[in-house]
Chain A
Amino acid sequence: MCENCNGQFGTDEQKEKLINYISKNKDVDGGIIAIMQEAQSIYGYLPREVQEIIADETNVPLSKIYGISTFYSQFYLEKKGDFHISICMGTACYVKGSGDIMNAFRSKLGLSGEETSKDGRFSIEATRCIGACGLAPVLTVNDNVHGRLTVEDVDKIIELYKSKEV
């Protein structure tokens, strides 16, 4: 799983930043979730190597950290794409066809579930109501919102981000 093939996961800077954050927050009551959020913002996701760093530094057992990371949908165990597409599956979006949009993204990107494309550019995920029902069906790509979509828009959105810098 190592990214740089030097036996360590991620860069030294990433690790240092995380350890620094943990040392300041490990005694805060219930601080483990904040630490995991910070770790995710540093690494983009929470693979085993990162969870092991958190366990070692906080003395919270790895099994507990893994339990938390699988309980909350905000935590990712697999690396997301450069552009992460979150398709709203709330009631309003769903009745207006977000299921079809999800299927269209899957077939265009060659994905079967909620996963990351082979080139690492895109990942898709179904989310609960994001509170923008007026734009239904709606999705976000990283922090950008795209609303009132039809299946025909799927190609355009992929085109828009395909060659874009992150």
Chain B
Amino acid sequence: MINLKINNIDVSLPENSTILDGAKKLGIKIPTLCHLDLCDLKVVNQVASCRVCMVHIDGYRTLMPACATKVRDGMVIQTNTSEAIAARRTVVELLLSDHPTDCLICEKNTNCDLQTLAAVLGIRGKLKYEGKKSTYPIDKSSTSIYRNPDKCIVCRRCETMCSDVQTCNVLSGVNRGFDTVIQPAFEMDLNTTPCTFCGQCIAVCPTSALTEINNVDEVWSVINDKSKHVVVQTAPAVRFALGEEFGMPVGTEVTGKMVNLLNKLGFDKVFDTDFAADLTIMEEANELIKRVTDNKNLPLLTSCCPSWVNFIEHNFSDLLYMPSSCKSPHQMFGAIAKTYYAEKENIDPKDIVVVSVMPCVAKKYESSREELSHNELKDVDYVITTRELASMCREAGLPFTDLEDMEFDNPLGESSGAGTIFGSTGGVMEAALRTSYEWLTKKSLDKVDFNNIRGLDGIREATIDIDGLELKVAIAHGLGNARTLLNMIKNKEAEYHAIEIMACPGGCIGGGGQPYHGGNPDVISKRRDAVYNADKNKTRRKSHENPSIKKLYDEYLGDVGGKKAHELLHTTFKSSKK
């Protein structure tokens, strides 16, 4: 252990700790901007590029960055000398000298780390430094990510996420000095790069250099179009994070309030993607059992995550026989809404508009994929993120925290606990196991909690005993972990029957469309706990026991994995090496 003093308080820290770690341990706040510590992913952005965390160390000639300076025995540190405070202020004033001052109309207004820091450091009135400002073109080439480099402060958090965590290597520092900009090679537009649209760059960007393509206006206008029947669905993960946008504690489930909100916003029906998650399990478990019985095309890879689908299409085109042919739940929902539901309610499918509220920006891209349509109608018409829904709530002046709980509409609103856990890493696999177990053994599964596949380790594996059949499964979250796992399979270093992959850290709960997690692992684990709690409190916890799902097959789809199911609920993948 290393012993030192910070602000006259003794502290002991393990070797290789930083001054910032020490300050955190003592509850001393040192402002940071570029720093990003994703302990669970074992990734730290420690470039010390912003110099906001400068502190005084006795005997050192200059101030040192707390985030990147390792502690030494006997160090005496002061975090708030007048010199350190002045240096921090100067650093932020210099950042502001090359930053637009349009906070009032900025996407991140009231939600921006730079804005907060300027306020905290007491920077008021006229900017001290004036000079040249960067001007770069805005990239809105994709349907998911809006990139405005003029707002970039070159902290490189996005580059760390894109390269080190997700291994997509799309964003990188280009040029030098004042001309430095974080962007794709050769100024390519995002939609021509291997970007998977996971949106983790957005999740960690401290400013509005990276935000989602905003679809709020389109949704308002379609809600107000009286000739349309507008149905909305909400992804499993949304309800476990939406409350944060309104100051509720992290990890609060707000399903009832969310349903009420959507009703008040004017949607004609409020349905649940959890229902479609149950539907996905019916088709996917059936596919898994078939592949395991035939011992063919193994392992089965989940295909719910559009960013992951992009990743395998870009990087592992030789393994495209592995992903399940199931559409993702919200796309299945769209297909069912425009067929089964349309028939049942006697509405022309052309007049039905499906809006998805997703924790994800890649879903925006996914809904525009040509093959995800039926009879020339897109399965899903608009996708908005959890953040965009919160923004609609504020625009409408609705008191979210005071809203009474309401229930989802039927028939597409009923779900099991298995559908609920889709929002967390490991959830899709667990849901599939609950159903596969019962279908394979024809026995009732009493203990539905598969604790051995839960957790936040990047890659987890387990062998599940299904009445003598040893089913080997693996789970990865974060695309870097997915790459490691796929390379192992490719090199025949590991064999599995089924693998679940989610692109974002923690799964959808840590998605790029959620309230900004800013790289805080605590946020992700609290949301995750809320997911499993919700599952525990459900009366039905297996997808195939969902009565509305049974009814859907009885009345409309026929057999699980049958002709009609294939026509509506399954899709294809294509190689797109970039």
Contact surface of A with B, Cβ cutoff 8 Å: 48, 51, 61-67, 70-71
Contact = CB atoms under 8 A, between A and B. Distances in A.
Contact of A61 (B172, B174, B176, B186): B172
A66 B175 CA distance: 9
B172 A67 contact: yes
Contacts of A64: 163, 169, 172
Contacts of B455: none
A67 B179 CA distance: 12
B176 A66 contact: no
A63 B173 CA distance: 8
Contacts of A48: 185-186
A78 to B, nearest CB: 12
A115 B171 CA distance: 27
Interface in B485-530: none
Nearest to B168: A61
B170 interface: yes
B184 interface: yes
Contact of A70 (B169, B170, B175): B175
Contacts of A70: 174-176
Interface string B149-189: 00000000000000100000111111110000000111000
A101 B174 CA distance: 30
A103 B185 CA distance: 32
Contacts of B184: 63
A48 B188 CA distance: 11
B190 to A, nearest CB: 12
Given A48-B186, A51-B185, A61-B163, A66 B174 contact: yes
Nearest to A73: B176
B169 A66 contact: no
Contacts of A65: 185
B173 A61 contact: no
B173 to A, nearest CB: 5
A67 B174 contact: yes
Nearest to A66: B185
Given A65-B185, A66-B185, A66-B186, A71 B175 contact: yes
Contacts of A51: 185
A63 B176 contact: no
Contact of A71 (B176, B185, B186): B176
Nearest to A55: B185
Nearest to B187: A66
A6 B235 CA distance: 50
Contacts of B170: 63
A67 B186 contact: no
A51 B176 CA distance: 19
Given A48-B186, A65-B185, 11 more contacts: A61-B169, A63-B163, A63-B169, A63-B170, A63-B172, A63-B184, A64-B172, A66-B174, A66-B185, A70-B176, A71-B173
B185 A63 contact: yes
Contacts of A71: 173-176
A67 B185 CA distance: 7
24 contacts: A61-B163, A61-B169, A62-B169, A63-B163, A63-B169, A63-B170, A63-B171, A63-B184, A63-B185, A64-B163, A64-B169, A64-B172, A65-B185, A66-B174, A66-B186, A67-B172, A67-B174, A67-B185, A70-B174, A70-B175, A70-B176, A71-B174, A71-B175, A71-B176
A51 B174 CA distance: 14
A85 B175 CA distance: 22
A79 to B, nearest CB: 16
A70 B175 CA distance: 5
A66 B186 CA distance: 7
B567 to A, nearest CB: 40
Contacts of A62: 169, 185
Nearest to A64: B172
Contacts of B169: 61-64
A166 B321 CA distance: 55
A65 B185 CA distance: 8
4 smallest beta-carbon distances between A and B, as pairs: A61-B169, A63-B172, A66-B185, A67-B172
A71 B180 CA distance: 9
Contacts of B173: 67, 71
A48 B193 CA distance: 14
A129 B401 CA distance: 65
A70 B184 CA distance: 12
Nearest to B167: A61
A64 B185 CA distance: 8
Nearest to B175: A70
A89 to B, nearest CB: 15
A110 to B, nearest CB: 26
A65 B174 CA distance: 10
Contacts of B185: 48, 51, 62-63, 65-67
A63 B159 CA distance: 10
B182 to A, nearest CB: 9
A62 B168 CA distance: 11
A53 to B, nearest CB: 14
Of A61, A63, A67, A71, which is in contact with the most chain B CB atoms at under 10 Å from its CB?
A: A63
A166 B39 CA distance: 58
Contacts of A66: 172, 174, 185-186
A49 B143 CA distance: 28
Nearest to A71: B176
B196 to A, nearest CB: 14
A138 to B, nearest CB: 25
Contacts of A61: 163, 169, 172
Nearest to B171: A63
Interface in B63-108: none
Interface in B213-265: none
B161 to A, nearest CB: 13
Nearest to B184: A63
A51 B171 CA distance: 16
A70 to B, nearest CB: 5
Contacts of A67: 172-174, 185
A112 to B, nearest CB: 18
Nearest to A72: B176
Contacts of B175: 70-71
A48 B184 CA distance: 13
Contacts of B176: 70-71
B96 to A, nearest CB: 25
Contacts of B174: 66-67, 70-71
Contacts of B172: 61, 63-64, 66-67
A62 B184 CA distance: 9
A68 to B, nearest CB: 9
A148 B174 CA distance: 36
Nearest to B169: A61
B159 to A, nearest CB: 9
